[in-house]
């Protein structure tokens, strides 16, 4: 069992395990508060790491260059399901 997060950017969705590669903390303490205000990045509330939503790559912060662990998801009949 794990906590996951699903992000949608336009028509694309991605799923990730809700664990930051820096220290393993959950990315957010609040449901639905994973993105930066401009919605361009996933933000880790722990130490401010920023991740590209479509790749999970850390582009700023203490885990620069690492990636979120992918969680395969897809849309079927309008619902998000585990792939
Ligand atoms: S736990 Fe995410 S940046 Fe430190």
Neighbours of 39 (CB within 10 A): 11
pTM (predicted TM-score) = 0.94
Domains of the chain by start residue, with CATH: 1-83 (2.102.10.10)
Give the pLDDT score at 32: 86
**pLDDT reading at 83 higher than 90:** no
Average pLDDT over residues 17-34: 94
Average pLDDT over residues 12-37: 95
* Ligand 1 geometric centre to CA of 61 (Å): 8
Nearest atom of ligand 1 to the alpha carbon of 25: 1
Residue count of the chain: 83
**pLDDT reading at 69 higher than 90:** yes
Copy the structure tokens of residue 39. 């919605």
**pLDDT reading at 29 higher than 90:** no
CA distance 63 to 35: 17
CA distance 63 to 47: 10
Q: Pick the residue whose CA is nearest to atom 3 on ligand 1.
A: 47
Q: Where are the alpha helices (DSSP H) in the chain?
A: none
pLDDT band at 71 (very low <50, low <70, confident <90, very high): very high
* Ligand 1 geometric centre to CA of 68 (Å): 11
77: left (phi over 0), alpha (psi -120 to 50) or beta: left
Give the model confidence (pLDDT) of 44-55 as tens digits.
Answer: 999 999 999 999
């Amino acid at each position: 069992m794990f906590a996951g997060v699903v992000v949608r950017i336009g028509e694309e969705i991605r799923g990730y395990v809700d664990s930051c590669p820096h220290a393993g903390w959950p990315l957010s303490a609040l449901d639905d508060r994973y993105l930066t205000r401009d919605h361009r990045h996933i933000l880790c509330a722990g130490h401010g790491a920023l991740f590209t939503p479509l790749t999970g790559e850390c582009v700023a912060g203490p885990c620069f260059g690492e990636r979120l662990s992918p969680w395969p998801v897809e849309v079927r009949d309008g619902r998000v399901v585990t792939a």
